[in-house]
Amino acid sequence: MLQSNTFSRKTKGGRIRKEVREVYLRDDIYCGATACKICDASGARLTSSPIIILDTNVVLHQIDLLENPAIDNVVLLSVVLNEVKNKNMAVYNRILALSKNSLRKFYVFSNQFHKDTFVKRMDGESPNDFNDRAIRVASHWYQTHLGGATSILLITNDRENKRKAIEEGISAETIQSYVKSLGQPELLDLLVNPASESEGVAMEVVEDLRPSKIQVVYPEHKPMSEITSGLHRGIYHQGKLRVNRYNSFEAYVGSESIGDEIIIYGRKNMNRAFDGDIVAVELLPQDQWHEEKNLSIADEDDEEEEDIRLAPSSADDAPRTTNLEVGSATNMNSTPSHPSGRVVGIIKRNWHSYCGSLEPKSKPAGTGGFTFVLFVSKDRRIPKIRIQTRQLENLLDKRIIVAVDSWDRRSSYPSGHYVRVIGEIGDRDTESEVVLIENDIDSRPFSAQVLSCLPPLPWSVSSEDLANPIRLDLRHVRVFSVDPPGCKDIDDALHCTALPDGNYEVGVHIADVTNFVYPGTPLDDEASQRGTSVYLVERRIDMLPKPLTEDICSLRADVERLAFSVIWKMTPEAEIISSKFTKSIIKSCAALSYVEAQARMDDSRLMDPLTTDLRNMNALAKIMRQRRIDRGALTLASAEVKFQIDTETHDPLDIGMYQIREANQMVEEFMLAANVSVAKQIRDYFPSCSLLRRHPTPTREMLEPLLRTAAAIGLSLDVSSSKALADSLDHAVGDDPYFNKLIRILATRCMTQAVYFCSGDLSPPEYHHYGLAAPLYTHFTSPIRRYADVIVHRLLSASLEIDKLPTIFQDRAQLTSIADNLNYRHRNAQMAGRASVELHTLIYFRNRPTDAEARIVKIRSNGFIVFVPKYGIEGPVYLTSKGEKGGGEWFVDEEKQKIVKMDNTISYSILQPVRIHMEVVEPQPNRPKLQLTLII
């Protein structure tokens, strides 16, 4: 049956045009109930009675509840799905995932294409009324279609819709009454009360408790129409709000319209915006641009204080410091470098669920079994969230997940609802789980679909592989691998053969992951989503399923494995004469650890061929490294620490600095060389769709903190180029051995991280990798743990005409989005790794109060921030106790970066070594934290 939809649409040119669209109504859309005798039951999922039909508002607001397995047997009408999609893409994706989940009984019914449930829009009917009517028609159809055997329940929170439904003889209920009827009280916590109702309740409660608080806390958001016109006229600026990770009262909005960042100080100016929201900002008058910037460690009106954390390893992790012109506080005439503004409206919310715990001291308040409590997110950028719960006692010492629902302007806190419990606070597994959730890392086991893409086990190199002409048989070559001890996912191996003419043949062999991961398979999709393996202190979350990671792809010793090889012919001076890329079969003769390799090279008695190879390689690597440094590559440093973990309890036994040996540098050097060679090859063949990695040159502003520190200790650094910086870093040798490393650590911290990008998106000069001083760079050498390398493998094999280029590479937008996802995942994986180390540091010090040597890295008005090299942590040391404000007794010399006691008896200057005492304290029950105190 043919029907047509007619509607008017505004064209890009602004004209109104009538559009006619055909709609083909079908009789082959089935109801999805197993009990139905008329319909085809092959796709049926709805088993029991009653069958629930959801209204759009229920899906939009109660998605957390719907994800609970207690709610099942649900019909999702396509009209509902479409409306959800238009209103909230995140919810849409979640509901779609539910409908695809084979364990849940969510059936999608395309009511608008079914001949009996098609509804034509009536004249003057609003879209909302139209949708409601369509829902009722579909519900009615279900009721008559299934007859008396199965009952149908329409769940809607729209009063009007419910009334009309009951009039039409459809049984309808609100979600609240339905959940109550299920008799599972814990579900009630998941329930979001519609704004109108909950506000009523909430305000009542607030009235009871704190009458002074009933006032408008925040200015009203401007209506959308005003924002649009304001943006158009240039009085408002649109951008994504990013809250300072270390000071939640400060946020930045990167605005394209003024080409600068707008700083937003204070919650009031942020006006209920969350981190990641797209907001409209109005600039403040210039004389208010620079509000008195507090230099003390803890923010004045903030009761939280700076936590002790791992030393940041790059500018992305480091706390943001606003560029203060020295002395601007006294000289008000100088223009502050960044404009500040306030949020006038929120264009798009970035609300999702947050991990954290309940604030213990908040007084329980509430009526009828409900208690209102404040929830403190682990992510400091998120304000406290008010939730209501019936199970306060249960939740107090738990880590829980909470979702935000609304933020009324009369309320200081956003209101949200409880989603689920993760576990007990302080428990290592719970906290690790929190780390994973916080960083959006998928640690679920691989689905059956994904696992079905694996080759059958046990796997071994087949005769087909051997016969394949594209595969070079390198089994006779002495190939070996060098990795950290205990490494199971070995993705690179090396060989180095001396040729009769005095040259060397050097090969880098990388696990041939793309031979097992085909584009477009569920396995590939999953890997592309995960983006990278995540290494926590006590566990690893793989990007690819374990059989691939640890067995089939891993280039273990004494087994034949498939590899993708880069083979160079090199002179003894490490000049590359020729390079060759080929798929290969190798048989590694030894899987060495860095320590073993180093020991072999150092032991002059050993003269076996493997050791000779190692020494040759090392000699080559040293030359290559020197050449790279001469070109201007930076030797950066970070304070990486290594835990010794108890094998039984997984508790940390010892922490130590991660030692870097020559063997590490040797392997690194060849991996860099392989990456550079591959980058050149793919970029030559696919100039517009290669995936490369670049490291942007840091701006002078970014290096400002380093320069200021250096100036304070009388060191001048030349930052005009990476070469100049590298040289001046080399010359920065102080009287103590650790000085140079410390300066390097500080330098590293000023730089942003390298990022993946699609070569078509940028112009060639921007491809530059600053840190490595390489014009082209990519990742090729770790396809088992990084998806970027998988993509690069595909590009490389396409350039060699081994495989066809997958279609995705023709879609630059998609490639860009993959690169963005990889950057995001990569960053999250690093953050998670660091958070895991932080967690274990805390566990380690719990029973071991320790004294240690530390260095002052930043001066604040009431103390300073120290860096403890041995444990790689950084944190504040207070000179004045918290209650009193700094400045009374102590005086900060901004220029010399010094803090001096008023009577001039004691002074601390930057980079000065101090001794500190580290201890875990529990200022609030269940909230342990590491505290640093100065030992004088």
Interface residue list for another protein (CB under 8 A): 2, 4, 15, 17-26, 29, 78, 96, 99-100, 108, 110, 112-113, 520, 804, 807, 810
Query: H helices within 6-77, ranges in order?
Result: 56-61, 63-66
Tokens, residue 738: 């650790």
Q: What span, in angstroms and rounded, lies between the C-alpha atoms of 97 and 93?
A: 6
Q: Rank residues 25 and 636 by Cβ distance to another protein and give the closer one.
A: 25
CA quadruple 441, 445, 451, 456: dihedral positive or negative?
Answer: positive
Report, in angstroms and rounded to the nearest whole number, the Rg of the chain calculated over CA atoms. 31
Give bridge partners of residue 310 from the DSSP assignment: 873
Tell me, what amino acid is at 197?
E
**Spatial contact of 798 and 804, defined as CB atoms under 8 Å apart:** yes
Q: Rank residues 15 and 233 by Cβ distance to another protein and give the closer one.
A: 15
Closest approach, Cβ 158 to another protein, in A, equals 25
User: What is the DSSP track for 495-513?
Assistant: EEEE-TTS-EEEEEEEE-G
Q: What span, in angstroms and rounded, lies between the C-alpha atoms of 865 and 872?
A: 13
Closest approach, Cβ 277 to another protein, in A, equals 25
Closest approach, Cβ 797 to another protein, in A, equals 15
Q: How far is CA 32 from the centre of its chain?
A: 38
Q: Rank residues 21 and 232 by Cβ distance to another protein and give the closer one.
A: 21
In terms of Cα–Cα distance, which of 657, 713, 653 is closest to 846?
653
Closest approach, Cβ 688 to another protein, in A, equals 12
Q: Rank residues 19 and 736 by Cβ distance to another protein and give the closer one.
A: 19
Give bridge partners of residue 354 from the DSSP assignment: 402
Q: What span, in angstroms and rounded, lies between the C-alpha atoms of 82 and 85?
A: 5
Q: Rank residues 519 and 545 by Cβ distance to another protein and give the closer one.
A: 519
In terms of Cα–Cα distance, which of 417, 537, 573 is closest to 832?
537
Give bridge partners of residue 254 from the DSSP assignment: 240, 261
Closest approach, Cβ 527 to another protein, in A, equals 18
Q: Give Cβ neighbours of residue 381 (< 8 Å, ≥ 6 apart).
A: 243, 244, 245, 248, 275
Tokens, residue 651: 């508790």
Closest approach, Cβ 156 to another protein, in A, equals 23
Characterize 11-25 residue by residue with b for buried, 16 or more Cβ atoms within 10 angstroms of its Cβ, and e for exposed. Answer: eeeeeeeeeeeeeee
User: What is the DSSP track for 827-862?
Assistant: HHHHHHHHHHHHHHHHHHHHT--EEEEEEEEEEETT
Greatest CA separation for the chain: 95
Closest approach, Cβ 24 to another protein, in A, equals 4
Q: Rank residues 93 and 367 by Cβ distance to another protein and give the closer one.
A: 93
Q: Rank residues 772 and 798 by Cβ distance to another protein and give the closer one.
A: 798
Closest approach, Cβ 73 to another protein, in A, equals 18
Closest approach, Cβ 15 to another protein, in A, equals 7
Closest approach, Cβ 27 to another protein, in A, equals 11
Closest approach, Cβ 117 to another protein, in A, equals 12
Q: Give Cβ neighbours of residue 892 (< 8 Å, ≥ 6 apart).
A: 295, 859, 860, 861, 898, 899, 900
Closest approach, Cβ 806 to another protein, in A, equals 8
Q: Rank residues 12 and 363 by Cβ distance to another protein and give the closer one.
A: 12
Closest approach, Cβ 51 to another protein, in A, equals 17
Strands 890-893 and 873-878: unpaired
Q: Rank residues 760 and 887 by Cβ distance to another protein and give the closer one.
A: 760
Q: Rank residues 82 and 753 by Cβ distance to another protein and give the closer one.
A: 82
Beta strands in 95-217 (DSSP E): 106-109, 152-155, 172-173
Q: Rank residues 529 and 644 by Cβ distance to another protein and give the closer one.
A: 529
First-to-last CA distance in the chain?
89
Q: Rank residues 10 and 233 by Cβ distance to another protein and give the closer one.
A: 10
Q: Rank residues 13 and 234 by Cβ distance to another protein and give the closer one.
A: 13
Q: Give Cβ neighbours of residue 861 (< 8 Å, ≥ 6 apart).
A: 294, 295, 296, 297, 886, 887, 890, 892, 899
Residue 165 CA neighbour count, 13 Å, CB half = 32
Closest approach, Cβ 116 to another protein, in A, equals 13
Closest approach, Cβ 822 to another protein, in A, equals 21
Adjacency order of strands within the sheet including 890-893: 890-893, 898-901, 907-909
Is residue 713 left, alpha or beta, with left meaning phi > 0 and alpha meaning psi from -120 to 50? alpha
Q: Rank residues 100 and 409 by Cβ distance to another protein and give the closer one.
A: 100
Closest approach, Cβ 810 to another protein, in A, equals 6
Closest approach, Cβ 85 to another protein, in A, equals 8
Q: Rank residues 16 and 607 by Cβ distance to another protein and give the closer one.
A: 16
The answer to whether the peptide bond before residue 50 is cis (omega within 30 degrees of 0) is yes
Q: Rank residues 17 and 352 by Cβ distance to another protein and give the closer one.
A: 17
Q: Which residue has the tokens 């609802």?
A: 417
Q: Rank residues 20 and 936 by Cβ distance to another protein and give the closer one.
A: 20
Closest approach, Cβ 686 to another protein, in A, equals 14
Q: Which residue has the tokens 């200021």?
A: 708
3-state secondary structure of 657: strand
Residue 93 CA neighbour count, 13 Å, CB half = 3
Q: What span, in angstroms and rounded, lies between the C-alpha atoms of 805 and 117?
A: 45
CA quadruple 327, 328, 330, 334: dihedral positive or negative?
Answer: positive
In terms of Cα–Cα distance, which of 340, 374, 328, 325 is closest to 354?
374
**CB count in 10 Å sphere of residue 135:** 28
Q: Rank residues 721 and 807 by Cβ distance to another protein and give the closer one.
A: 807
Q: Which residue has the tokens 């200790």?
A: 713
